[in-house]
Chain A
Amino acid sequence: MHDLKHGSPLNTYIEHCGKGELAYQVCTDDNTPVFFPRVVAPKTGSPNLEWRISKGLGAVYATTIVYYKNEPPLNVALIDLDEGFRMMSRVEDIDAAQVKIGMRVKMRMHPGDDKQPPYPVFTPAGDAK
């Protein structure tokens, strides 16, 4: 069982982000990917969770453009990673309106700032498989 007195799942995730890695968990009982990070696997409650590093390749599952006042339109998307988990993120380097469902994308670690630790964003990946 995960020892919460010595480390939280979120802290482990953030540490990986600091190294430029998108980490996720796999329940080794049945190889189910688990995301967001947890102390036990959902549904079974199994403690057998192993950290893995994603290749960072995936596809846009859903997308929206947020219009904040006095700011350029901002993309917010749900990304399905090839390893079988989904996360919220955004696709950068193209117009928010050009982000399409099904588009292949690749992870890039956003450096964050003094208040926000690094966090994964995505860029178009072309035909990367």
Chain B
Amino acid sequence: MNGLQKGSVAVVGVAESDLGQVAPNTSPTDLMAQATMRALADCGLKLSDIDAVLSATSQSRYSTMALCEYLRIKPKFFDGTMIGGSSFMSHLAHAQAAIQQGICEVAVIAYGSTQRTVSRAAASPREYNFFETPYRPFFPSSAYALAASRHMHQFGTTREQLAEVAVAARKWALMNPAAWEKEPLTIEQVLNARMVSYPLTVRDCCLVTDGGGAIIVTSAARARSLKKKPVYVLGVGEAIGHTTISNMPDLTVTAAAESGPQAFRMAGLKPADVDMLSLYDAFTITPILFLEDLGFCPKGEGGRFVSNGAIAPGGKLAVNTSGGGLSYCHPGMYGLLVMIEAIRQVRGECGGRQVSNCEVALAHGNGGVLSTQCTVLFGSEGTL
């Protein structure tokens, strides 16, 4: 983004809300408030220090207003950008702009969802579209299945390669005590699971859980006075491609091919400088597309790239060390949790799944049906 400076802001506090399945009548705002207080405790700031509030959830049209009401915050800056699961990377870019301009100093970005408790249909009702709804696609799965069909046709990508993504995520999840899934998973199990929308089985699809989180962002100067090691925002990029899958020009090329280069340009970095990736894995096809579009392998090579455990623990590239949306947690708009894992990796807080010498981490968010793409590069003090 033009005008945003590498390292001008840092993430100082991060926290998940309660994850998995929460008690009946828990609201998305309850989860946001819980995560906000945990993230403040993580950095040693108080609720009264927050002067900017940014949030999104599919369950509350006015989520930023709702969070301000709940916590009785009168923010100097606020944003309720709603572009699906990548909203929170977009919020981070907007918070950076506002902090750089001196509009505010301490921003919270929050998310909460109870989609497991209330059902997906209730948490994220579909809008009627004359040009799609009559054909009864099972959205969002069918949109990603159409993209997968195209990738398989054009590049020879196989269902086994898709399954590699799910198996790698499961292996990482078994190293994350907070992960929903606790049992090992094999490629055969993915292939033989219940078919949802060909070529995607239920194991190619993300989890349906409750959950949320919050991150606290402030200026680099203020960040250095706080409890934890600051994790700097080195680069951000945001791009909108389309809304409906029938209007995506090429189903094998996402707008990550725009957001990624924006973020790398701002950071003055290239893919080879990245130590760890957190890629929104709504479906097994998405990390394959993003590895290509973000420049980690050539277009069409993503399936072959992830083969033979290449993105699993001990592989050539650490991807989705939390276990991802496929095996750790997926409350519907998972982008905030995508960033939290990348930030924790740069802090060195990931215990058994910690990537050694993780100085630069990439967090990539996806929204809608491959519709919006936002990329953030996080780095340690040494990367400035």
Contact = CB atoms under 8 A, between A and B. Distances in A.
Interface of A: 10, 13-14, 36, 61-68, 73-74, 76-78, 86-90, 97, 101-102, 110, 112, 116, 119
Contacts, number: 75
Given A86-B246, A88-B246, A63 B130 contact: no
Interface string B40-61: 0000000000000000000000
Contact of A119 (B134, B149, B247): B134
Contacts of B146: 62-64, 76-78
Interface in B131-153: 131-132, 134-138, 142, 145-147, 149-150, 153
A101 B150 contact: yes
A65 B134 contact: no
Interface string B190-212: 00001111110000000000000
A88 B196 contact: no
Given A64-B145, A88-B244, A89-B135, 14 more contacts: A61-B150, A62-B147, A62-B149, A65-B197, A66-B136, A76-B136, A76-B142, A78-B251, A86-B246, A88-B135, A88-B246, A90-B135, A101-B153, A110-B134
B11 interface: no
B243 to A, nearest CB: 11
B138 A62 contact: no
B135 A67 contact: no
A102 B146 CA distance: 14
19 contacts: A10-B130, A61-B150, A62-B251, A63-B149, A64-B145, A66-B196, A66-B197, A74-B136, A76-B197, A77-B146, A78-B146, A78-B251, A88-B131, A90-B135, A101-B149, A101-B153, A110-B134, A119-B130, A119-B134
A35 B197 CA distance: 25
B245 interface: yes
Given A14-B130, A62-B251, A78-B245, A68 B138 contact: yes
Interface of B: 130-132, 134-138, 142, 145-147, 149-150, 153, 194-199, 244-247, 251
Contacts of A14: 130
Nearest to A97: B198
A40 B152 CA distance: 36
A76 B196 CA distance: 13
A61 B149 CA distance: 9
A88 B150 CA distance: 14
Nearest to A64: B145
Contact of B246 (A78, A101, A116): A78
A95 to B, nearest CB: 12
Contact of A64 (B149, B194, B244, B246): B149
Contacts of A90: 135
Given A62-B146, A76-B137, A101-B150, A36 B131 contact: yes
A99 to B, nearest CB: 10
Interface majority SS on A: helix, strand, loop or mixed? strand
B193 to A, nearest CB: 11
Nearest to A63: B149
A87 B150 contact: no
A18 B135 CA distance: 17
B142 to A, nearest CB: 5
A67 B195 contact: yes
A114 to B, nearest CB: 14
Nearest to A86: B246
A86 B150 CA distance: 14
Contacts of A112: 134
Contacts of A78: 146, 245-246, 251
A66 B137 contact: yes
B245 A88 contact: yes
A39 B251 CA distance: 26
Contact of B196 (A13, A67, A101): A67
B136 A64 contact: no
Contacts of A61: 150, 251
A91 B195 CA distance: 20
Nearest to A67: B195
A64 B198 contact: yes
A90 B138 CA distance: 13
A88 B242 CA distance: 14
A20 to B, nearest CB: 16
B187 to A, nearest CB: 20
Contacts of B145: 64
Nearest to A116: B134
A73 B135 CA distance: 13
A42 B137 CA distance: 26
Determine which residue in A63, A74, A88, A110 has the highest number of CB atoms from chain B within 10 A of its CB, and name it: A88
Determine which residue in A62, A68, A86, A119 has the highest number of CB atoms from chain B within 10 A of its CB, and name it: A62
